[in-house]
């Protein structure tokens, strides 16, 4: 067990524990804060995988952006901070069966599949390569993403706008 393994298990533990807390705590603001640790833990795992660009994006977009928006949404919405979310358990038997089957399937998929893997090389920065790919091989996808964002903006403006009575 070398130092990388230890760091991996550390991040994995942070992710799992805070993820569990996100869905179990009753206060919605606490839940949002635990989400911060979950997303941070995932960013750490990306770093260990040598995916530096994705790790930074994960930090900037999810931890820095989406989570702050989420907190603002919670705080600006009237009275929602005091409300306990309903966390009661319903239909426990079918849920356990469903989750059990799903867990079994996922585990056997993970262990029995021969995954395609590349040999571990020295880790190099990926940002420049991603940039090159985005404007060469994946240029169509890149341009289409731009249109997708435009549509998302138009859609958000349409939903948010209040109609004149």
Partner 1 sequence: MDLNSLYTSFNYIAPEITIAVALIMIVIFDLIFDKNKKIIPYIAYLGIFSALFFVAANFNLTGTNYKVSSLNESMGMISTDTFGSFFKILILVSSALIIFFSKTSEEIKKTFERAGEYYALIFGMILGMMFMVTASDLILIYLSVELLSLSSYVLAGFTKLRDRNAEASLKYLIYGAVASGLMLFGISLVYGMVGSTNLAALNNYLQLPLANVLTFTAAAVLIFAGIGYKISAAPFHFWTPDVYEGAPISITAYLSVASKAAGFALLIRLIRIGFVRFIDGDGNWHISGIFDWQSFIIIISILTMTLGNFSALWQNNLKRMLAYSSIAHAGYILLGVAVLSNHGLMAVMVYFFIYMIMNIGAFFVVMLIADKTGSEDIDDYNGMGYRTPLLGVALTVFLISLTGLPPTGGFIAKLYLFIALVDANLIFVAVIALLNSVVSLYYYVRVLKHMYLTRSDKDDLLFEISLSNKFFVTGLAALILLLGIYFTPLLDLVKNVSFFTL
Q: For binding to partner 1 (CB under 8 A), which residues are involved? A: 105, 108-109, 112-116, 136-141, 144-145, 147-148, 150-152, 154-155, 157-159, 161, 163-164
Q: Which is nearer to partner 1, 88 or 146 (CB)?
A: 146
Cα distance between the two ends of the chain: 67
Q: Which is nearer to partner 1, 13 or 153 (CB)?
A: 153
Q: Which is nearer to partner 1, 87 or 108 (CB)?
A: 108
d(CA 16, CA 40): 11
Q: Which is nearer to partner 1, 82 or 124 (CB)?
A: 124
As measured in angstroms, the least distance from the Cβ of 154 to partner 1 is 5
Query: How much of the chain is in helix, strand and coil states, percent to nearest 5?
Result: 75, 0, 25
Report the candidate in 27, 29, 11, 129 with the shortest Cα–Cα distance to residue 73. Answer: 29
Report the candidate in 34, 30, 31, 42 with the shortest Cα–Cα distance to residue 17. Answer: 34
As measured in angstroms, the least distance from the Cβ of 78 to partner 1 is 19
As measured in angstroms, the least distance from the Cβ of 110 to partner 1 is 9
d(CA 58, CA 149): 18
As measured in angstroms, the least distance from the Cβ of 23 to partner 1 is 16
């Amino acid at each position: 067990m070398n130092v990388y393994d230890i760091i991996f298990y550390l991040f994995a533990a942070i992710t799992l524990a805070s993820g569990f807390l996100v869905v179990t705590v009753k206060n919605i603001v606490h839940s949002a804060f635990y989400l911060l640790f979950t997303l941070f833990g995932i960013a750490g795992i990306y770093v260990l995988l040598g995916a530096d660009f994705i790790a930074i994006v994960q930090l900037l977009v999810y931890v820095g952006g989406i989570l702050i928006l989420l907190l603002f949404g919670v705080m600006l919405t009237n009275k929602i901070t005091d409300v306990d979310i309903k966390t009661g358990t319903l239909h426990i038997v079918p849920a356990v069966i469903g989750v059990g089957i799903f867990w079994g399937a996922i585990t056997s998929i993970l262990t029995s599949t021969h995954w395609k893997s590349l040999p571990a090389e020295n880790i190099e920065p990926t940002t420049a390569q991603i940039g090159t790919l985005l404007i060469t091989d994946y240029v169509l996808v890149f341009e289409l993403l731009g249109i997708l964002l435009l549509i998302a903006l138009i859609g958000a403006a349409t939903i948010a706008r209040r109609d004149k009575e």
